[in-house]
Structure 1
Amino acid sequence: MSDRENAPKPESARMASHLANTRAAQGFMDIDWSRPWLAPLAERGERWRRAALESYPAYLSTLNSDAHTDPHVTGQGKPLSFIAQDELPAGASYEGHIAETGCVPTRYNLHDFFNAAMWFQYPRIKAALNAGQAAEIDVLGIGPTRGAARDALTLFDENAILFACADASLAAALRAFDWRTLLGEQRAAWGLRCEARIFGHALLQKLVVPYKACTGHAWIVEVEPAYFSASASDAGRRAILDHAVSERLKSEAISSRSFTPLPVLGVPGWWPENEVPSFYDDPQVFRSGRRSPTWRAPEPDVEAAASSMLKSLSQSRPGSRG
């Protein structure tokens, strides 16, 4: 059978597009801004959601209006803007195109909705990730696999949780998978000496319809106790994290070993059911991992989770997105 015979019929293509848009619209309607992990995005996000429910062009126009009034730059210093996915030139690398032009190809779906949101929440981190990806592409090109460096950058971009911490013992408990200490005995420390902020846009997409096993890759950020002072604003805390993490991404190589799993619904205050101590008795979610706080070899469950997530992303994205 020829390629022409294999090509989708116009009616079939229209039907597929309609179904995809219907699913996307339902996804936008499912967003609940009262969720603790989504609340920081609510003010801007609700405007974006209303525009998305109006139309794809209205949605892109709203993103670009915000990019004009609240300007940021991509990995090579180009002014940030948003374009339809179809405007990405054939054969072009997604990250390379963003770095070179400032234009972020954006699909009409929740995944890219939250990706765009992170460009405004943490613009320096996003630019540093984009610069790292573009540099790897310049050296190695686009192939069937990303390579270890790009895998780690992608993992951060898609699934990272920023774990801000002013208490080394809490960071040690996280690294040791000591859930009883971190999420049980030290519940009162959350908001006073540590906190979690979702960065990964694929993780945010999953958490629109949360489930117990949903797990992010925590990136520990050491902060001063003043970070948690009552006078510190949400925007101020985000700015601290944005600066600190972006500088690390510029100066050090990362791998999957740089992260520690954190089951999102186990975070104190984030899910009513975790008020009951038995919530943490589920070994399929709250697994015992590393043997001690100082053992730094790669944890098999971390590696497996990262590999699975990256594989699913590569299958769901257009090939040019790399």
Structure 2
Amino acid sequence: MAQQVLQHGAPVHRALQGAMAAPVQFVPQDDLPEGAAYEQHIFETRRVPTRDNLHDFFNGLVWLQFPQAKRRLNELQAGAIVAHGIGAVRGPLRDALTVFDENGALLDAPAPIWQALQAREWTRLFVDLRPLWHEARLLLFGHALLEKLAAPRKPIVAHVYRAQCAMDSVANADAWLAQQMEPGHWAGKPFSPLPVLGVPGWWAANEDPSFYADAQVFRPPRVLAGPTS
């Protein structure tokens, strides 16, 4: 519905506002007072300043699909801003929240897939274990990730969080994810990088195993230097 409204030339905030019920109101970008922190403004007013671009359109769609998780994420961002202010560098919690907000996803998959993903064993993950991906479900959350996939490129990476809940509906996943967002846990960035176009069925080119030989995309695990004598 929102897309149909946009096609008739309506501003993005108006298209989103008329789509379905949301815990926030979508308003023009000018609603954000000069000098105000974006996340804190949303938390205090429940109004989301929205620009007329694809990035903010997808942000609005995520608010509509994951209202509980987005509200919790915003609450934590605003709390960190109140506690520490706005500095040149985000603290660990705000940095992790921003990473997931922009590029996050939930992955429900059998244990061997998770083990290979965390070890960055790309050939095992996508070639050897390919049949197991039929038992996996990848649910996108990050609005920047969605924007990038509108013009797909091989290097696009999602930061995935392991889903340990019933993924039979987005509503269940949303409620579970909101409960997972505890500051101490989240500040540690409990995510794994996943080149999403390597997922079986997501990109025709990955039917060829040589697709995964590109070390610029499917990077080997980092080797930590040992102590020097």
TM-score normalised to the size of structure 1?
0.65
Partner of residue 95, structure 1: 39
1:275 aligns with 2:207: yes
* Partner residue in 2 for 1:287: 219
- Displacement of 1:222 in angstroms is 2.3
Partner SS state of residue 279, structure 1: helix
**Which aligned pairs between 1:159-198 and structure 2 lie closer than 5 A?**
159-165=103-109, 167-192=110-135, 194-198=136-140
For 1:292-307, what aligned pairs fall within 5 Å after superposition?
Answer: none
> Which residue identity is paired with 1:169?
P
CA distance in structure 1 between the aligned counterparts of 2:35 and 2:16, rounded to whole angstroms: 25
Gaps of 5+ in 2: 225-229
Please tell me whether residue 51 in structure 1 is matched to residue 39 in structure 2: no
- How far residue 108 of structure 1 moved from its aligned partner, in angstroms, is 0.4
Structure 1 residue matching 2:220: 3-state secondary structure: coil
Counterpart Cα distance in 1 of 2:15 and 2:130: 40
CA contact (8 A) 1:82 1:104 kept: yes
Q: Distance in 1 between matches of 2:90 and 2:51?
A: 21
Structure 1 pair 83/124, CA: closer, same or farther in 2 (3 Å)?
same
Please state whether the residue corresponding to 1:162 is helix, strand or coil.
Answer: strand
1:37 maps to none
Distance in 1, matches of 2:220 and 2:187, equals 21
Question: Who wins on radius of gyration, i.e. which is larger?
Answer: 1
Q: Per-residue CA shift, 1:220-274, capped at 9, x if unaligned?
A: 11246xx5xxxx4xxx2x2232122211103643236411111011000000010
Q: Aligned equivalents of 1:264 and 1:107: distance in 2?
A: 27
Contact 1:176 1:290 in 2 (8 A): no
- Measured in 1, the distance between the counterparts of 2:164 and 2:134 equals 14
Structure 1: which 5+ runs fail to align? 1-46, 74-79, 292-296, 298-322
Is 1:66 the counterpart of 2:19? The answer is yes
Partner of 2:71: 127
Match of 1:35 in 2: none
Q: Distance in 1 between matches of 2:125 and 2:106?
A: 15
Q: Which whole-Å CA distance do the structure 1 matches of 2:119 and 2:150 have between them?
A: 29
CA distance in 2 between partners of 1:256 and 1:287 (Å): 21
- Contact 1:206 1:214 (8 Å CA) reproduced: yes
2: CA distance between counterparts of 1:60 and 1:54? 14
- Measure, in 1, the Cα distance between the counterparts of 2:5 and 2:18: 12
- Which residue of the partner structure matches residue 142 of structure 2? 200
Q: Does residue 1:212 correspond to 2:212, yes or no?
A: no
Conserved 8 A contact 1:133-1:150: yes
Instruction: Compare the two structures and name the one with the higher helix fraction.
Output: 1
Root-mean-square deviation (Å): 1.9
Assess if the C-alpha contact under 8 Å between 2:195 and 2:218 holds in 1.
Answer: yes
User: 2: distance between equivalents of 1:243 and 1:171?
Assistant: 22
| Separation in structure 1 between the aligned mates of residue 116 and residue 173 of structure 2, nearest angstrom | 21
Structure 2 counterpart of 1:141: 85
Give 1:131 shift: 0.6
Match of 1:247 among 149, 169, 179: 179
How far apart, CA to CA, are the structure 2 residues paired with 1:257 and 1:93?
A: 23
Residue matched to 2:195: 263
Q: Is the 8 A contact 1:177 1:290 kept in 2?
A: no
Aligned residues: 224
Q: Percent identity?
A: 42
Tell me the CA shift for residue 186 of structure 1: 1.6
The alignment partner of 2:194 has SS state of strand
- Distance in 2 of aligned mates of 1:253 and 1:137: 18
